[in-house]
């Protein structure tokens, strides 16, 4: 069993070196709301790891929820650790200090469980760096009983094979109940005195847990089929279902938030008003993975917002969801909070539809013209918007822009993608045409408008209708970027774009299989860290890593998949059926839209029937589905 030695660098030793790092408060701890328990006395110790810098991780709501849930258990002590910036990593390695947690500067390698949040594929080298800094063997097969159990959750856990050799177990889906089952299973195993392999077997029978070492992968015809190993009569489940919480009303939520010592990227109180999305955008992984829609009661939202504001000192509360304007009681909730919130706190909505209703909400919230308004048409032409199931017309977009300018806004930020399946040059140029029309509307309203066009490259994501599609080749994507740049010239138009090489790297790992593990480790050994930061990524190191390990990035990023190809994530059930995703992909090619199931009949995605969880709206009402099973 593991030798618990919870002694890291002393405060005096650390303090002497903090002047040499960019932001010392990333490593000091002591925040309001932080929980510090007796690690020696705890039945299970849990290091909650976020593979990015403190400011990013401290803003992650899911991590705050899990931190609160774990520390509410009397037998668990949970502490946090973030990826140190390069200056602190150099100090840790020079001093021979292990990676330590924020709360008590305890070595991460001494914890029972290290749990990573996987929000983005380009943080994978950071995961390896954190394990290495903690003194934990990178590969699961090399770990012994004294080493921590390494687990990972988050959206990327639903397509985790590039990390399969490095992570002992993946937690799929909603984590509030699942993480409790995991730590209880760990405690039972720990008390049993069994071997580490028995722990992995126990975990494989927890609903929502995938243990990759219990499966062998067969590569056949371009596919990657994961098959449970026969281990003396024991077999893991052939398919692992994502964990789904049926009601947010019964789900735990932290009312005493952790207050970072330096401004995080989202410096405000947060209340999740509902989970899931039924808009059905065909490029959107979150919209498929977080189904079905489950709303919190407006009274619960109001109570949580007031409690958090009163206990945190924040002057703003953000009502969080994938599409906040779709909340059934959004106007009433916003109105009540604005009228009765303590300390005159502001209310913000981080995600709005492209319509006048959303603009009216923004105006109601008192958003200033200086901060501007962000809308996401996603595509410039109507044909492309229909193809991706972004059900908004150009007339509605222009009407929303007119409403925004009339409300006092002078700055609009518009999000688009290029490289979408079936896109033509005319579709790309339609982005510039639409932006120019919006700028002219602003001028007609007497404004001096600034229209910011922010464009990212399309990445085909697993568990979406576009998972079969190829990503556009790098040179072609750059050509389309230049085409758009040339058409966006003129006062009041700003153009921002995502680096092509990062888009390609993301596409490689988004649809990757286990064979990418060798390249990932090679890139880490070459010093790759913070690959999502354009100024920090080493593209040459990645090229060398792919070359040395015999990996062809185009095989993963730029290859169209056959209908019946077995994907590396097919043994992990997201709840939305693969047949439904293929049907949506075929509809996209004909530019046919699919309605929102919350407002009409069932679309047949399968989540409600197969998981026994109906769309649940505020007031206890179930959505208009799923009385019947729709054949696919």
Task: Measure CA 135 to chain center.
Answer: 27
Q: How confident is the model at residue 630 (pLDDT cuts 50, 70, 90)?
A: very low
- Spell out the residues 6+ positions from residue 207 whose beta carbon is closer than 8 angstroms to its own: 178, 181, 241, 243
Length of the chain: 632
Neighbours of 10 (CB within 10 A): 10
**Cα–Cα distance, 159 to 177 (Å, whole number):** 21
**Cα–Cα distance, 42 to 44 (Å, whole number):** 5
At residue 497, the pLDDT reads 94
At residue 357, the pLDDT reads 74
**If you average pLDDT over every residue of the chain, what do you get?**
91
Report the first-to-last Cα separation within the chain, whole angstroms.
49
Percent of the chain with pLDDT over 70: 95
Q: How confident is the model at residue 324 (pLDDT cuts 50, 70, 90)?
A: confident
Q: How confident is the model at residue 275 (pLDDT cuts 50, 70, 90)?
A: very high
Determine contact, residues 272/253, Cβ cutoff 8 Å. yes
- Interval 66-120: pLDDT, tens: 999 999 999 999 999 999 999 999 999 999 999 999 999 999 999 999 999 999 9
- Spell out the residues 6+ positions from residue 296 whose beta carbon is closer than 8 angstroms to its own: 248, 249, 272, 273, 274, 304, 618
At residue 371, the pLDDT reads 61
Side-chain-side CA neighbours of 322 within 13 Å: the count stands at: 19
Determine contact, residues 20/58, Cβ cutoff 8 Å. no
pTM beyond 0.85: the answer is yes
Q: At 269, phi and psi to the nearest 5?
A: -70, 150
Q: What is the H or E stretch that residue 555 is in?
A: helix 553-557
- Interval 177-194: pLDDT, tens: 999 999 999 999 999 999
**Cα–Cα distance, 114 to 169 (Å, whole number):** 11
- Spell out the residues 6+ positions from residue 134 whose beta carbon is closer than 8 angstroms to its own: 98, 99, 107, 108, 109, 114, 148
Judge whether residue 543 has pLDDT over 90: yes
Q: How confident is the model at residue 344 (pLDDT cuts 50, 70, 90)?
A: low
Rounded to 5°, angle at Cα 173 from 58 and 143: 75
Q: How confident is the model at residue 619 (pLDDT cuts 50, 70, 90)?
A: low
**Structural domain spans, the chain:** 11-241, 352-515+551-561, 577-620
- Spell out the residues 6+ positions from residue 513 whose beta carbon is closer than 8 angstroms to its own: 161, 162, 217, 219, 224, 556, 568
223-239 mean pLDDT: 92
- Whole-number Cα distances in Å, 132 to 219, 304, 369: 30, 39, 47
At residue 346, the pLDDT reads 83
- Spell out the residues 6+ positions from residue 355 whose beta carbon is closer than 8 angstroms to its own: 325, 392, 396, 399, 400
Determine contact, residues 593/388, Cβ cutoff 8 Å. no
Judge whether residue 429 has pLDDT over 70: yes
- Interval 132-153: pLDDT, tens: 999 999 999 999 999 999 999 9
535-550 mean pLDDT: 95
Q: How confident is the model at residue 442 (pLDDT cuts 50, 70, 90)?
A: very high
**Cα–Cα distance, 422 to 562 (Å, whole number):** 17
**Cα–Cα distance, 582 to 585 (Å, whole number):** 5
CATH level 3 topology of 352-515+551-561? Transcription Regulator spoIIAA (3.30.750)
DSSP-derived secondary structure for 324-390? GGGSTTHHHHHHHHHHH-GGG-EEE-S---SSHHHHHHHHHTT--TTT-EEEEEE-SSHHHHHHTT-
**Cα–Cα distance, 451 to 412 (Å, whole number):** 5
Q: How confident is the model at residue 627 (pLDDT cuts 50, 70, 90)?
A: very low
Task: Measure CA 29 to chain center.
Answer: 25
Determine contact, residues 60/119, Cβ cutoff 8 Å. yes
- Interval 120-136: pLDDT, tens: 999 999 999 999 999 99
**Cα–Cα distance, 437 to 490 (Å, whole number):** 12
Determine contact, residues 466/421, Cβ cutoff 8 Å. yes
Q: 11-241 in CATH: which number?
A: 3.40.50.280
463-467 mean pLDDT: 98
300-320 mean pLDDT: 89
Judge whether residue 424 has pLDDT over 50: yes
- Interval 556-596: pLDDT, tens: 999 999 999 999 999 999 999 999 999 999 999 999 999 98
Percent of the chain with pLDDT over 90: 72
At residue 343, the pLDDT reads 56
Determine contact, residues 21/27, Cβ cutoff 8 Å. yes
Task: Measure CA 466 to chain center.
Answer: 18
Judge whether residue 395 has pLDDT over 90: yes
53-64 mean pLDDT: 94
- Interval 593-614: pLDDT, tens: 999 888 767 899 999 888 888 7
Judge whether residue 365 has pLDDT over 80: no
């Amino acid at each position: 069993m593991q030798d618990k030695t919870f002694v890291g660098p002393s405060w005096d030793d650390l303090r002497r070196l903090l002047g040499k790092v960019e932001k010392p408060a990333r490593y000091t701890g002591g925040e309001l709301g932080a929980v510090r328990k007796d690690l020696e006395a705890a039945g299970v110790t849990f290091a909650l790891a976020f593979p990015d810098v403190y400011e990013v991780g401290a803003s992650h709501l899911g991590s705050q929820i899990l931190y609160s849930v774990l520390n509410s258990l009397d037998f668990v002590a949970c502490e946090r650790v973030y990826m140190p910036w390069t200056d602190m990593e150099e100090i840790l390695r020079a001093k021979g200090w292990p990676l330590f947690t924020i709360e008590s500067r305890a070595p991460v390698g001494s914890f029972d469980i290290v749990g990573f949040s996987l929000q983005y594929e380009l943080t994978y080298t950071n995961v390896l760096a954190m394990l290495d800094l903690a003194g934990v063997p990178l590969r699961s097969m090399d770990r012994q009983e004294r080493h921590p159990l390494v687990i990972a959750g988050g959206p990327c856990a639903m397509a985790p094979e590039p990390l399969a050799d490095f992570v002992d177990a993946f937690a799929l889906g909603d984590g509030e109940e699942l993480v409790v089952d995991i730590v209880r299973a760990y405690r039972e195993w720990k008390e049993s005195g069994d071997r580490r392999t028995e722990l992995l077997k126990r975990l494989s029978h927890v609903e929502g847990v995938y243990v990759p070492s219990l499966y062998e992968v067969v590569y056949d015809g371009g596919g990657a089929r994961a098959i449970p190993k026969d281990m003396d009569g024991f077999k893991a489940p052939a398919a692992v279902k994502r964990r789904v919480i049926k009601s947010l009303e019964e789900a735990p939520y932290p009312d005493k938030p952790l207050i970072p010592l330096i401004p995080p990227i989202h410096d405000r109180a947060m209340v999740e008003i509902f989970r899931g999305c039924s808009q059905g955008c065909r490029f959107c992984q979150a919209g498929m993975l977080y189904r079905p829609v489950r709303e919190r009661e407006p009274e619960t939202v109001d109570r949580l917002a007031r409690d958090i504001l009163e206990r945190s000192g924040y002057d703003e509360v953000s009502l969080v969801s994938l599409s906040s304007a779709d909340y059934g009681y959004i106007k009433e909730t916003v109105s009540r909070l604005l009228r009765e919130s303590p300390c005159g706190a502001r209310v913000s909505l981080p995600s709005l539809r492209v319509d006048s209703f959303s603009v009216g909400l923004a105006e109601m919230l008192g958003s200033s013209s200086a901060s501007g308004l962000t809308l996401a048409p996603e595509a410039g032409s109507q044909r492309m918007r229909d193809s991706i199931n972004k059900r908004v017309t150009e007339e509605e977009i222009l009407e929303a822009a007119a409403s925004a300018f009339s409300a006092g806004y002078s700055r609009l930020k518009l999000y688009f993608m290029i490289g979408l399946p079936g896109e033509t040059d005319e579709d790309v140029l339609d982005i510039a045409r639409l932006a120019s029309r919006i700028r002219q509307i602003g001028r007609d309203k007497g404004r001096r408008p600034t229209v910011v066009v922010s464009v990212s490259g399309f990445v085909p994501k697993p568990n979406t209708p576009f998972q079969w599609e190829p990503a556009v080749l790098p040179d072609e994507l750059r050509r389309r970027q230049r085409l758009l740049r040339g058409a966006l010239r003129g006062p009041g138009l700003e153009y921002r774009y995502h680096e092509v090489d990062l888009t390609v790297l993301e596409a490689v790992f988004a649809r990757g299989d286990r064979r990418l593990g060798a390249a990932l480790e090679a890139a880490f050994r070459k010093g790759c860290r913070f690959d999502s930061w354009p100024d920090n990524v080493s593209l040459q190191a990645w090229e060398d890593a792919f070359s040395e390990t015999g990996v062809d990035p185009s095989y993963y990023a730029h290859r169209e998949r056959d209908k019946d190809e077995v994907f590396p994530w097919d043994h992990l059930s997201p709840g939305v059926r693969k047949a439904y995703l293929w049907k949506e992909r075929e509809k996209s090619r004909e530019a046919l839209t699919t309605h929102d199931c919350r407002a009409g009949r069932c679309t047949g995605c399968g989540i409600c029937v197969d998981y026994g969880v109906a769309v649940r709206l505020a007031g206890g009402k179930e959505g208009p589905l799923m009385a019947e099973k729709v054949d696919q």
